Structure 1
Amino acid sequence: MSYYSQATFFTSAPDISHLKDDTGIEVAFAGRSNAGKSSALNTLTRQKNLARTSKTPGRTQLINVFELEENRRLVDLPGYGYAKVPMAMKLKWQRSLGEYLQKRKSLKGIVVLMDIRHPFKDLDQDLIQWAVDAGLPVLALLTKSDKLKSGKRKAQLLMARDASLAFMGDVTVHTFSALNRQGLPELESILDNWFGRIEAPEADSEA
């Protein structure tokens, strides 16, 4: 049984300031509203409905926290860049997110999910740069890799890895598919490292 299959819902918060228990280790998942974040979390935890998927991307604006064991948490941050919300709300969320990345002591890493066909859009780059500036390791996860044939998938991966060098930080890039679980071992290996369960992983199977 996977370590991550024991994840259970812990709490929801309307914004960063309402998160409690800033102890132990937590890893956050973030991405554009149509990047497949909920599907990736459900695949990781082997649970169909742990992270609720919505037919309307961007509808869920709560921070959802899932507990793996005491003082070990996965944090599902609201999707960005798609939801039809007022600009003032978007700016408030961006400020809160920046504060979370910079001040959350238990945060040990962030997974930024991006559609492999459209990686590193402006908001993705902002988020990664915030994390790098805060000294956090980042896993840029290129989702929906099953949408591309092998050659194109590898080309996109190499291009994304080259682009990630510009952040001048601890940014790792892997491909992922919730449909066929491609990239799941690499995701688990990096999370294991962040949670202090194993040493850092070697190269990825797509390399």
Structure 2
Amino acid sequence: MQVKSVEFCNKAVNPEQFPSGELPEVAFCGRSNVGKSSLVNSLLGRKRLAPTSSQPGKTRTIDFYVINGRFLLVDLPGYGFARVSKQMKERWRELIEGYLEKREQLKVVVMLMDIRHDPTEDDLLMYQWLKFNEIPTIVAATKSDKLSRGRALNNLKKAKKKLGLRGENGDIMISFSAKTGDGRIALWKTINELLENRS
């Protein structure tokens, strides 16, 4: 998909700040250091739209962007081992789960995981939670440029098995590299298909 326009819409720290309107939404979630901001920037062809940082937990709000006037891209706070207080983590959990569970405009979730490693306990819990709530999910296996093609394919196979992702529920896994652009076309194609099916 050609990204012609990206407009910042809103930052939210509570549901009252979620934007109104009926545009469909595609949400991106993943561990704090999985490369979510880099993926979003690469996907949109922008260098610094989503803030990147060597410090996990940079994103502490839910950020909404209007893409081509057609749908909203939603950047969720990272989960996992960000160096924040337990109180802050609980606040994030409530915000993220509240959005994912109750947001009628949400059509697709792109869940990121690091292709170099097995899915973490947090990854497994997030995917199982998405499946329990029947939310269409694309798993983006990031940092594919860090491995050889053979190793990457092997890791994808193991990750699919561990997550229980078999394809009959419509979910797929796509390897992605923000550095090389690997997976960008495939990810956009799948997002568009799911948006059309869920409209």
| TM beyond 0.5 | yes
1:23 positional shift: 2.0
Local SS of the residue matching 1:30:
strand
Could you tell me which amino acid in structure 1 is paired with residue 27 of structure 2? A
Distance in 1 (alpha carbons) for counterparts of 2:177 and 2:75:
18
Residue 97 to residue 169, structure 1, CA distance change in 2 (3 Å): farther
1:158 positional shift: 1.2
8 Å CA contact 1:63–1:77 kept in 2: the answer is yes
Distance in 2 (alpha carbons) for counterparts of 1:162 and 1:60:
30
1:126 positional shift: 1.7
Comparing 49-58 with 15-24, greater Cα deviation is found at 15-24
**1:105 aligned to 2:90?**
no
In the other structure, the counterpart of 2:76 is 77
Residue 112 to residue 98, structure 1, CA distance change in 2 (3 Å): same
Quick one: percent identity of the two aligned structures? 35
Local SS of the residue matching 2:191:
helix
Alignment gaps of 5+ in structure 1: 201-207
1:16 positional shift: 4.0
1:169 positional shift: 4.4
Could you tell me which amino acid in structure 2 is paired with residue 182 of structure 1? D
Could you tell me which amino acid in structure 1 is paired with residue 50 of structure 2? A
Comparing 4-13 with 129-138, greater Cα deviation is found at 4-13
Distance in 1 (alpha carbons) for counterparts of 2:21 and 2:97:
16
Q: Deviations over 1:169-191 (max 9, x none)?
A: 44311110011011111101111
Q: Which structure 2 residues correspond to residues 154-165 of structure 1 after superposition, within 5 A? A: 154-165=153-164
Residue 20 to residue 91, structure 1, CA distance change in 2 (3 Å): same
Distance in 1 (alpha carbons) for counterparts of 2:136 and 2:89:
25
Distance in 1 (alpha carbons) for counterparts of 2:84 and 2:21:
29
- RCO higher in 1 or 2 (8 Å CA, sep ≥ 6)? 2
Local SS of the residue matching 2:3:
helix
In the other structure, the counterpart of 1:172 is 172
1:4 positional shift: 3.0
TM-score (norm 2): 0.90
Q: Which structure 2 residues correspond to residues 96-175 of structure 1 after superposition, within 5 A? A: 96-165=95-164, 169-175=169-175
Superposed CA RMSD:
2.1
8 Å CA contact 2:118–2:158 kept in 1: the answer is no
In the other structure, the counterpart of 1:192 is 192
Distance in 1 (alpha carbons) for counterparts of 2:70 and 2:183:
26
Residue 127 to residue 17, structure 1, CA distance change in 2 (3 Å): farther
Could you tell me which amino acid in structure 2 is paired with residue 94 of structure 1? R
1:162 positional shift: 2.1
1:128 positional shift: 1.4
1:142 positional shift: 0.6
In the other structure, the counterpart of 1:205 is none
Alignment gaps of 5+ in structure 2: none
